[in-house]
Amino acid sequence: MTALTNARPATTADLGGILRDAHDRHARVRIAGRGTWPARSAAIAPDAAVLDVSALDGILEYVPGDLTLTARAGTTIAELDAATAAHGQWCPLLPWGGDDGSLGATFSTATYGPCSAALGSPRDHAIGLEFVDGTGAIVRAGGRVVKNVAGFDLTRLLVGSWGTLGVITEVSVRLRARPVVDETWSVAIDGEASRARLEAFRRGPLAPLSIEELDGRALIRLGGNSALVAAARAIVKTLGDAEPRDAAVWTAFRASDPKPRGPLGGNTLSDALSQRVKKQFDPRHILNPGIMGEACA
């Protein structure tokens, strides 16, 4: 096997050329973004050369009236948040780890955050994407508008594939209006009865954006219009010893990265269907080899 020189492509065309060359030479590559999750790639074959895609960044198209935005994969979550905040909108990914990670990594790993149950996961927000497969071919799936659903299943296939089918270069997302009121409360957890009340609130008509347990208390994030949040706040105050918290607590909580993030189920490339899909997009197994638990000798 010929080693691939570490590369940092500036364009999708450059990336396609690099991967065509790697395919032809059977050279393994480790896909890297902003480098905020280094421990997650520990399973990748040690001889894989680094393919740094962080230069593929920037917002390409933002249509506030359609609640859609398209950005290159190296764009950070923080940049996405800043651009949409100016229009009272957001793409509420809020992934574990924080907002310094890239859009591509978040969608490639399908990393959700504490608000995913209420606001959706990366698969719920993606309406289209572009990627370069393991042969160097540039593929576009889905579209840039919500009504364009062509190739939607391919979009969902790439989200959460951990770079084993292709390198995501561009993502189109659906946005939401930001909550008019967004506030956080901390409630003491006092045994199973307390947890049962919190769970009933979570599933109720005034469900919060998130409930997470931290140090014997429940962090509760409320969001919506003034009337809805006022009604939800009244319920929170009946759940136990409640006190308001600064919103910054969520930033610190996400940075603690309390949830495991990684491909589930051991060798997820062991079944026949997965092997056929892998062969279609990465026939020589050069993309992030070993990350799914497969042998990469």
pLDDT less than 70: residues of the chain: 1-5, 37-42, 145-152, 260-267, 296-297
Residue 270: predicted pLDDT: 74
CATH of the domain at 71: 3.30.465.10
Residue partners of 252: CB distance under 8 A and separation at least 6: none
Residue 188: predicted pLDDT: 96
Residue 267: predicted pLDDT: 66
In a domain, 53, yes or no: no
Strand residue runs (E) in the chain = 29-32, 49-52, 59-63, 68-72, 89-90, 126-133, 138-142, 166-174, 176-177, 181-188, 210-214, 217-224, 242-245
173 and 230 fall within a common domain: no
Residue 272: predicted pLDDT: 86
How many folded domains does the chain comprise? 2
Residue partners of 188: CB distance under 8 A and separation at least 6: 194, 216, 217, 218, 240, 241, 242
Residue 291: predicted pLDDT: 87
pTM: 0.91
154 and 137 fall within a common domain: yes
89 and 129 fall within a common domain: yes
Per the structure, the complete domain to which residue 84 belongs is given by 59-177
64 and 168 fall within a common domain: yes
185 and 158 fall within a common domain: no
Alpha-carbon distance of 295 to 219, in angstroms, equals 41
Residue 297: predicted pLDDT: 61
82 and 153 fall within a common domain: yes
In a domain, 225, yes or no: yes
In a domain, 164, yes or no: yes
Backbone angles phi, psi at 40, to 5 degrees: -75, -15
80 and 155 fall within a common domain: yes
CATH of the domain at 209: 3.30.70.120
197 and 152 fall within a common domain: no
Alpha-carbon distance of 90 to 294, in angstroms, equals 37
In a domain, 297, yes or no: no
In a domain, 289, yes or no: no
